[in-house]
Amino acid sequence: MRFVDKVVLVIGGNSGIGLAAAKAFAAEGARVVVTGRDPKTLESAAAAISAAAAAGEPALALSSDIGDVAGMDPVIDEVRSRHGRIDVLFVNAGIGAFAPIPEVTPELWDQVHGVNLRGCFFAAKKALPLMGKGGSIVFTGSIGSQLAVPGNAVYAAAKAGLRAVTRIFAVELVGKGIRVNMVSPGATETPLINRNVGMDAAAVDALRQAMISNTPMHRMGEPEEIARAVLFLASSEASFITGVDLFVDGGVIEL
């Protein structure tokens, strides 16, 4: 029960890691607000989070596309109206894209960076007025920002940029008592892997098998395993930790 009476905003909380984290926050007493682009998955996510809530408080689910910077304003306004503050911000929204360099277009680059870097930066920036001492921000990164994986230039560049953003947020906000960290998953079984731009089902399956074979633990991670790392960094247990990029990857980077 590390988050009793805490207000937690999960951006991109309608599936995968975001949903797993939102449910875990709710189970530990948080008042949870989640965003997502798909109204249908948002509705089911809100029900699942509310069912997991220790305090029985229903989750607030708001439709929002992180790639639309102005679209975050109604979310922040609603959180301000309902709760008056944000104690924990988990910026998890993202999209995938694999393409070899000759096939990378400006449109693909802008699409991925508009969500994974630009969108995440401005979402966090807009939340800051509701945050204060003791607050915590966690971004979702990727071990892809550290690895030279063929076809991953666009996605990796965006996540590497977000890693830099995380560290600079941490430096600029340390004086305000707000900690900022990143969790970088390895191969994780989430809907995102099936939505990689430009990949058909066979290519996605080949990618999954390649990731498993390159993971020392020889399996995919589960969203709940990544969520546990998110909750640790967001909690007071990590009170002397800021600016880190925590790899949760089955040993890929470490071994």
Domain boundaries of the chain, sorted by first residue:
7-248
Q: Distance between CA atoms of 94 and 82, rounded to whole angstroms?
A: 26
Mark residue 16 as left, alpha or beta (left: phi above 0; alpha: psi -120 to 50; beta: remaining).
left
pLDDT in tens, the chain (255 residues): 999 999 999 999 999 999 999 999 999 999 999 999 999 999 999 999 999 998 778 999 999 999 999 999 999 999 999 999 999 999 999 998 889 999 999 999 999 999 999 999 999 999 999 999 999 999 999 999 999 999 999 999 999 999 999 999 999 999 999 999 999 999 999 877 766 556 788 888 888 899 999 999 999 999 999 999 999 999 999 999 999 999 999 999 988
Positions marked active-site: 155
> Per the structure block, which two tokens stand in for 55?
């305090």
> What is the structure's pLDDT at 145?
96
> What is the structure's pLDDT at 197?
53
Chain centroid, CA 94 distance in Å = 7
The reported pTM is 0.95
213 residue type, one letter: S
- Confirm if 238 and 231 have CB atoms less than 8 A apart: no
Q: Distance between CA atoms of 178 and 102, rounded to whole angstroms?
A: 42
Identify the CATH number of the domain defined by range 7-248.
Answer: 3.40.50.720
Terminal-to-terminal C-alpha distance of the chain: 33
- Confirm if 141 and 181 have CB atoms less than 8 A apart: no
